[in-house]
Amino acid sequence: MDIMKAIVLKHKIVAILRNVPEKELQAAGADFVAVGGVSLKNAAEYLKNGFVGVGIGSSLVKEELFLQKKWELISTDIKEQLDVLKKEGLL
């Protein structure tokens, strides 16, 4: 969904798949959550540039750990990633 559609539809939160300059986000009059291609490495950039949230999916959980049902390792990985965002002041 692009910004023009977000304005017309007046969504409170709209998911978009690419980074958009902060001035465009503000002009749209909506809150945006970035999804698709978001990782721990670029999540801070999205949040610092006006997005109210990020959706981190496949980069959050390693597929091989999931398939092997290594829940403890998955939990540890997620906690470490959240700690990085906390250190950045984004949580």
Q: How far apart are the first and last CA of the chain?
A: 26
Question: What DSSP letter does each residue of 43-87 carry, written as one string?
Answer: HHHHHHTT-SEEE--TTTS-HHHHHTT-HHHHHHHHHHHHHHHHH
Instruction: Give me the tens of pLDDT residue by residue for the chain, a chain 91 residues long.
Output: 455 545 455 555 555 545 666 677 666 666 778 887 888 788 888 888 878 888 877 777 888 998 999 999 989 988 888 888 788 777 7
Domain ranges, residue 51: 3-87
18 secondary structure, DSSP code: S
The two tokens of residue 32 are 């945006």
CA distance 44 to 76: 20
Domain count, the chain: 1
Q: Judge contact between 35 and 55, C-beta under 8 A.
A: yes
Give the global pTM: 0.54
Give the CATH number, domain containing residue 26: 3.20.20.70
85 contacts: CB under 8 Å, gap ≥ 6: 40, 43, 44, 91
